[in-house]
Amino acid sequence: MTVPQEAVARVRQLREELERHNYLYYVLDEPEIPDAEYDKLFRELERLEAENPLLATPDSPTRRIGAAPLAEFSQLTHRVPMLSLNNAFEDEEVAAFDRRVREGLGVERVEYAVDPKFDGLAISLIYENGILLQGATRGDGYTGEDVTTNLRTIKAIPLRLHTTNPPQLLEVRGEVLILKADFEKLNHQQRNKGEKEFANPRNAAAGSLRQLDPRITATRPLTFFAYGLGSVEGVSLPRKLSAVMDYLESLRVPVCRERKVVQGVEGLLEYYRMIGARRDSLPYDIDGVVYKVDDLDSQERLGFVARAPRFAVAHKFPAQEAMTELLGITVQVGRTGALTPVARLKPVFVGGAMVSNATLHNEDEIRRKDVRIGDTVIVRRAGDVIPEVVGVVMGNRHSSAQEFSLLEQYPVCPVCGSHVIRLPDEAAARCSGGLFCPAQRKQAILHFSSRRAMDIEGMGDKLVDQLVDKELIHTPADLYKLGMTTLANLDRMAEKSASNTLAAIEASKKTTLARFIFALGIRNVGEATAKDLARHFGGLDALMAADEGALQQMPDVGPVVAQSIAQFFAEPHNREVIAQLVAAGVHWAEGAGSPISTSPISGKIFVLTGTLPNLTRDEAKERIEALGGKVTGSVSKKTDFVVAGAEAGSKLVKAKELGVVVLDEIQLKEMLGE
């Protein structure tokens, strides 16, 4: 079956965009688009994958739940995955859900447990013998962040279940949130202290729960509502979800008072409209309601699809909208250099707040929606996060309405003056001054310092924030000018920490060309491409002098990647920072400039598993790739060698099943000529 190339390209674009927004929403708590826009992209990807089954892959966002846990917290594997719910937006979709449930169970009518859909942070609480043992965020649905210490500060969460006969194990699933009244008080306190106000209760709750210092969490007015269970041992529970919620209430676990049991699709829609009418008067923020089959045996019979249960659905409220005048369009430069068009609006009250700015996403969206300066536009505040312009009231358009061209109006970055470029396969235009642009400063320095780049241990978010905010560094080259006094005087930095950081900075000066290229943060250049560039050109001067044609002579470097590289090095600001880095002593061994085609492992595919006695996996990978070999993460018929160390697992088993040659560390070193 042939898959249309436009579908392949669109699926790739959607996946990249959804994963980026997953990261912004679940990990950074900095969403850029409304929930309604995310849902639209997600549903488009679902539709394309359904129409083209060959495009459905295990790593698609439609096969996962959220995003990876933060590295600062230890990880906790959920005993039962915390799956997300499919969404319904129209009455017809709810009717279709009810029909599927009835057909799956072979019954004429179904009872549903229904409750509001809280707009907070999903968590899991583990009680053993009635005592709160652990708590974690949803994370990616399978592994979450262990935030037990912070959860213990929330007074609504019982540390001990109110019963004389507790179950051996009870995993309570629920939502951490901040009530509307408490949110107003919190922001009032922020104003009085002269600190930044929180955008909305959801972000305030998420940020508060995931503080590294539990004392900060303890000062925030967090609360909790349970909505279900995960693992259960040592207790016989009722076989109705509604009765289970009653049981939790008897244990003094907070549950929602607005929950009900209803009959059939009529009951579902009646509840939806009732809660919608009460939405503004509820003490907490919600973005819809949740329907679940009440009978637990029926839930088990219905089971799950890839990422969601068949027995439940979330019925989302429509985004709140208003009309106003578009006065002008400016741009904001994001952390990655993307220029996002921003609509400057005649102020209008929408979604509970006065809105004067709204995102236009990118120039393609402006063209698609035919948005012009002077238009009357529809503004949506979906999810109460970031307002967006969703359309134009064409009947109100005047002949004086002006079209907007981003590259014509902003040929250079409004922040740093570097050239603005737009690659053929990207929707966003970007500033090309990645090493120099103040808007990208923190991102550029964090990437430059990361483990797989220059590997400057200790150069994390908090330290970079201080260094940039205090204007102690402006580019990665300034890292090598830092002194002991400067570092030791920063918050959470003592003389020992400062000494360790300076030692790490000094050690990073001796690196490899591949690491240095990767550290520059060139758009579309990952680790593998950086290594290929280092092998092919052998030196930085040759790479910087290469034009797009020369770059495309390399395998796996197409027009888009070649353009990214050439334009990065064409920017004088970037060349200036590179020169400063070299002058500061950053160095590497220059290579011959071509792949080692005569190596016995050139082109061979390796898989690493287990713990090697004297090599880390990264070291083994670097040595294999230096001789032209490739390292992949899974064993297949195409695998040439599996390098197995102590505690090798399923990969070793599969290698033996497929007859793949298995090497130990000594045999690997012999093959590498060491």
Taking only the tens place, the pLDDT of each residue in 385-436 is 578 888 888 888 999 999 999 999 999 999 999 999 988 778 889 999 989 8
The tokens for 249 are 């209430």
How many angstroms separate the CA atoms of 21 and 613, rounded?
40
Short-list 240, 278, 306, CA closest to 62: 306
How many CA atoms within 13 Å lie on the side-chain side of 534?
25
Between CA 43 and CA 32 the distance in angstroms is: 18
C-alpha span between 521 and 434 (Å, rounded): 7
Planar angle of CA 245, 249, 230, nearest 5 degrees: 45
> What is the C-alpha to C-alpha distance for residues 87 and 90, in angstroms, rounded to an integer?
10
Sheet holding 131-137, edge to edge: 131-137, 121-128, 169-177, 223-233
Average pLDDT, the chain: 88
Tracing tokens 């995955």 back to the chain, one arrives at 81
Position 236, amino acid = S
How much is the pLDDT for 352?
60
The rounded distance, in Å, linking the Cα atoms of 83 and 310 is 11
Kindly report the length of the chain.
674
Q: Answer whether 431's CB lies under 8 Å from 416's CB.
A: yes
pLDDT band at 25 (very low <50, low <70, confident <90, very high): low
Q: CA angle at residue 221 from 219 to 222, to 5 degrees?
A: 110
Give backbone dihedrals phi and psi of 321, rounded to 5 degrees, phi first.
Answer: -130, 160
Question: What is the dotted CATH code of the domain comprising 605-671?
Answer: 3.40.50.10190
Per-residue model confidence (pLDDT) at position 649 = 85
Handedness of CA 99, 104, 105, 107 (dihedral sign): positive
Q: Between residues 97 and 531, which one has the greater pLDDT?
A: 97
Rg of the chain on CA atoms, in Å: 28
180 vs 173: CA distance, rounded Å: 22
CATH topology of domain 5-63: Helix Hairpins (1.10.287)
Return d(Cα 373, Cα 115) in angstroms, integer. Answer: 43
pLDDT tens column, 234-268: 999 999 999 999 999 999 999 999 999 999 999 99
Q: Using one digit for the tens of pLDDT, what is the confidence trace for 538-549?
A: 899 999 999 999
Do 413 and 333 form a contact (C-beta atoms < 8 A)? yes
User: Tokens 């990361």 correspond to what residue?
Assistant: 450
CB 472 within 8 A of CB 478: yes
**Residue 664 CB contacts under 8 Å (≥ 6 apart), including other chains:** 643, 644, 645
Sequential DSSP letters for 582-618: HHTT-B-----SS--TTSTTTT-EEEEESB-SS--HH
Tokens read off for 143: 């592994």
Question: Comparing C-alpha atoms, which of 470, 328, 336 is closest to residue 413?
Answer: 336
pLDDT score of 595: 47
pLDDT at 351: 65
Q: Is the pTM of this model over 0.85?
A: no
Q: Which CATH number fits domain 87-316: 3.40.50.300, 3.10.105.10, 3.30.470.30, 3.40.50.10860?
A: 3.30.470.30
Q: Using one digit for the tens of pLDDT, what is the confidence trace for 582-601?
A: 999 999 987 644 445 557 88
Strands 388-392 and 376-380: antiparallel
Residue-wise burial string across 648-673, b where 16 or more C-beta atoms lie within 10 A, e elsewhere: beebbebbeeeebebbebeebbebbe
Distance CA 589, CA 511 (A): 8
Domain boundaries, the chain: 5-63, 87-316, 321-409, 438-583, 605-671
- Residues 640 and 143: their CA atoms lie apart, in Å, by 32
Helix (H) or strand (E) holding 355: strand 353-359
Please give the positions annotated as active site: 117
SS3 content of the chain, % helix, strand, coil (to 5): 40, 20, 40
Say what the pLDDT of residue 593 is: 47
Q: How far apart are CA 81 and CA 136, in angstroms?
A: 12
Q: Quote the Cα angle for 213-217-222, to 5°.
A: 165
Counting residues of the chain whose pLDDT is more than 70, the rounded percentage is: 93
- pLDDT value at 194 more than 70: yes
Element (H, E) at 115: strand 111-118
Write down the CATH number for the domain with range 321-409: 2.40.50.140
C-alpha–C-alpha distance, residues 158 and 298, integer Å: 30
What's the rounded Cα separation, in Å, for the pair 660 and 636?
9
Answer yes or no: are the C-beta atoms of 340 and 360 closer than 8 Å: yes
DSSP H helical segments within 354-479, as ranges? Answer: 363-369, 406-409, 441-449, 461-469
Region 467-471: mean pLDDT is 92
Cα separation, 115 vs 258, whole angstroms? 6
Q: Where are the alpha helices (DSSP H) in 52-158?
A: 91-105, 148-151
For 196-225, the DSSP string reads: PPPS-HHHHHHHHHT-SSHHHHHTS--EEE
Q: How many CA within 13 A on the CB side of residue 143?
A: 8
**Does the pLDDT of residue 28 top 90, yes or no?**
no
Distance separating alpha carbons of residues 560 and 524, to the nearest angstrom: 8
**The predicted structure's pLDDT at residue 43:** 86
CATH class of 438-583: mainly alpha
Task: Check pLDDT > 80 for residue 67.
Answer: no
Position 202 scores a pLDDT of 83
Is the pLDDT at 615 greater than 90, yes or no? no
How far, in whole angstroms, is CA 632 from its chain's centroid?
24
